[in-house]
Amino acid sequence: MFTSRFGNLQVVDEPFYKSEGGVVNGVATLDVSAKVPYSQLPIDLTVFKWTLDLTAVLSGDIYPSQSSTIASVTDIVGSPITTILINGSSYTFGDAIVSGDKITVTVDVASVIDLNFTV
């Protein structure tokens, strides 16, 4: 079994806190200073990443909860050759993926990768 981190963002019609931050002596700082509507925040809700830890096993299946496409793969740890299958068939970047499709990801060496999705 492999592990993954998947971030979900829920947009509500309420102001969010606008924050400013920086790095001080190698430590990230965050200063929450004012409320602004979510529409003014630089958030792109049409892209997301699914990080896959394929260090213990070289293959695994994931199932998206919404229709999307995979735009690219980013190598985080290692330099694998990555193979992606959708419901058992070869996948080409940009092809449609339907909610509930079985995405099988296989790498040739232990690695951590990001699947970069668009909605």
**Does the CA dihedral 26-28-31-37 come out positive or negative?**
positive
Query: Does residue 3 sit within a domain?
Result: no
The pLDDT of residue 37 = 60
Q: Name the nearest CA neighbour of 104 among 66, 58, 61.
A: 61
Query: Does residue 111 sit within a domain?
Result: yes
**What is the domain extent for residue 100?**
43-118
The pLDDT of residue 12 = 40
The pLDDT of residue 15 = 42
Query: Does residue 22 sit within a domain?
Result: no
What are φ and ψ of residue 38, in 5° steps? -55, -30
Query: Does residue 30 sit within a domain?
Result: no
The pLDDT of residue 47 = 80
Query: Does residue 11 sit within a domain?
Result: no
In a structure prediction context, what are the per-residue pLDDT tens digits for the chain, which is 119 residues long?
Answer: 344 444 433 334 444 444 444 544 555 544 455 555 656 666 666 788 889 999 999 999 999 888 999 999 999 999 999 999 999 999 999 999 999 999 999 999 999 999 999 88
